Amino acid sequence: MSYTDLDFMQAALQQAELALALGEVPVGAVVVHQGQIIGRGHNQPIHRHDPSAHAEMLAIRQAAQHLGNYRLPECELFITLEPCLMCSGVILQSRIARVVYALPEPKTGAAGSVCNPYLEPRLNHHTQIEHGAGGEQAKQLLQAFFAQKRQTSIPVPPLQIAGLANFRDLGGIKTTAGKTIRSRMLFRSDQLAGLQDQQAFAALAIRTIWDFRTSAEIARDPDPQWPAVQYHTADVLAQSQLQSALSLNALLADPSQLNLHLGQGRAALLMADIYREMVRNTHAQEVMRQWLHSLCSPAQYPVLWHCTAGKDRTGWATVLLLTILGVPHERILRDYLASNALVLHKYQALIAQGVASGVEAELFNALLGVDAHYLKAALHEVKKISGTLPRYIEHVLGLSPQQQAQIRSYLLD
């Protein structure tokens, strides 16, 4: 395989991580046309109530919409697991030229493991099939999924509040010490202006809300007010030149300009810069310092924190807190990546409209989603400043070991 193939397989593996974060079998796929990814997908049959919502099916559908054609003869499909018979049928129907898969599937694989319709001489199209690199990573994701299934005998449905697309309770997450975050104590969310079920939200008995948005975002979509709730507004990047890049409304106001300014991978580079800025900007550090220090008081709980989409500023704040609580990095990453499917689903109509007007689909994925590379950019900046994230929390954000232990005593069982 060439370097380009490896790069595309890594993109498919990132999609598989999204499936794992949703509790789906971790399989991911991307469709490539002329060296560009035009379709992405990860397993979602459970969440979509759709037995056909396999990773490659979703990626192929997105690619076909992008090209405006049900035939994809110049496209390649990269998938982390050997396709099944259903998906192989669609691959052949769409006339995909080449398929590269990372890991064989001995029970349902239809590219040679169980059967191989690609070798049927009577068909009028024959897709080239290759078993490529990435198998070890794909295997590790599958092992993590089934290990999680064995540990959870009775699945607990996620808490959902109507009108909040990226809302979740962090309760139930396990730490490296074998403890569990208490339920109904820590909530992360997107903006609350869309809240529809006031009664369900009030039943959470939230005492404190931290709003990490800009003053312009707050003025446009203010939080509902509850008398018993203490509010804190703390603009994370108030003193950063990158502040405007966090405004979804501003970015999407003129889709025709998006390709010009943020196309060809520039959107992903911008997002990585924002994450670095949240680490090194002294004002952003002060906001995180105030928020984490407030959690040393039991009167703050239950607490909710949010921004606009609940993915970047809220995501970084959550990474810091879960690190203090002793959650392993793999589980922190799963929570971080869980925002992807939730936020992208919320903006599905907007994305379709933008793509129809000529905006790169990849640009929307970069701006409206999250990516493991964004978090890696933040952690690399942490390494430059402090060496490790625990040292950054203690020495830059000023949270002593005693204060961190105090927070753990409130939140862990």
List, as residue ranges, the binding site for Zn(2+): 54, 84, 87
> Whole-angstrom Cα distance, residue 362 to residue 263?
8
Residue 41 in contact with residue 58, Cβ under 8 Å? yes
- Residues placed in the known binding site: 54, 84, 87
Query: At a CB cut-off of 8 Å and minimum separation 6, what does 75 contact?
Result: 31, 32, 33, 38, 63, 94, 96, 97
User: Which H or E element spans position 72?
Assistant: none
User: CA-CA distance, 22 to 376, in Å (whole number)?
Assistant: 21
Three-class secondary structure assignment of 131-179: ECCCHHHHHHHHHHHHHHHHHCCCCCCCCCCCCCCCCEECCCCECCCCC
How many CB atoms lie under 10 A from the CB of residue 231? 11
56 assigned to active site: yes
Q: How far is CA 346 from CA 25, 276, 340, 342, 360, in A?
A: 22, 26, 10, 6, 18
103 three-state secondary structure: strand
Active-site position among 17, 24, 56, 217: 56
Active site residues: 56
